[in-house]
Structure 1
């Protein structure tokens, strides 16, 4: 029944790559454009905020382009994203450590961050192997 899908199996990783990379690159650019506000929201210095933004953008680009370059680039990109996610999860979501919507996070809470974290770990472990 699903044999027809086997033809597209080698391209399935692109769905995760594009989703993960687009989230981080778009958020990273937005955070870079308002670096002071991003630093204040996380209660960190401007330097730490800049490092997080560079990890977001660089990690996203490496995850996306790593398939065309080298397995190590893919894994390095995912490795850059994981600490960013952990920091954001524990610095901004600790009051809402549940997986339900709240007054503070009406669109999404911890669940979207956990999904991004797990996809990043998957990409780190899998690399370019399809």
Structure 2
């Protein structure tokens, strides 16, 4: 256990990097091909661009926050939460819970969006205290 505790100070990077990668992956196309994405999603181009800015900007803030600014981590968590609530309301809720392609939902359920919200809210509520608490626990 002591060996794992020694690594706990950097464990916050696992979900931080995962979230950043997810939002960069989904945000860049919204900025680079906003017209095509808007047509595919049935949304106004302006809205697609705004969501893309929030996704890419939030990812960059979350990464930057890992090196110090607590507000960047917290703000990114709030940004991601807002985007995922919008995604659930506009797309995923109608397909139910499961994201596995079962029946006629096409794998578009909301379970992964809910997971992203919970991790995002953890960052919003705790900020960089997640990593600081882990370091203090490992030192005890």
TM-score by length of 2: 0.82
Alpha-carbon deviations, 1:79-125, whole Å to 9, x = none? 1111111111111113202225334533x631111111111111111
Gaps of 5+ in 2: 132-140
Aligned counterparts of 2:110 and 2:66: Cα–Cα separation in 1: 29
- SS of the residue corresponding to residue 47 of structure 1 reads helix
- Given that 2:99 and 2:112 are in contact with CA atoms closer than 8 Å, whether structure 1 keeps it comes out as no
Deviation at 1:16, TM superposition (A): 0.9
RMSD (CA atoms): 1.7
Gaps of 5+ in 1: none
Shift in CA distance, 74/88, structure 1 to aligned 2, threshold 3 Å: same
- SS of the residue corresponding to residue 7 of structure 1 reads helix
- Given that 2:55 and 2:80 are in contact with CA atoms closer than 8 Å, whether structure 1 keeps it comes out as yes
Give the stretch that moved more between structures: 96-105 or 5-14.
Answer: 96-105
Q: Quote the residue 2:138 is aligned against.
A: none
- SS of the residue corresponding to residue 55 of structure 1 reads helix
Give the stretch that moved more between structures: 15-24 or 60-69.
Answer: 60-69
Count of aligned pairs between the two proteins: 128
Comparing both chains, which one has the higher relative contact order based on Cα–Cα distances under 8 Å and sequence gaps of 6 or more? 2
Aligned counterparts of 2:9 and 2:17: Cα–Cα separation in 1: 15
TM-score by length of 1: 0.88
Alpha-carbon deviations, 1:6-25, whole Å to 9, x = none? 10010010001000111001
Higher Cα radius of gyration: 2
Q: Quote the residue 2:125 is aligned against.
A: 125
Aligned counterparts of 2:68 and 2:99: Cα–Cα separation in 1: 39
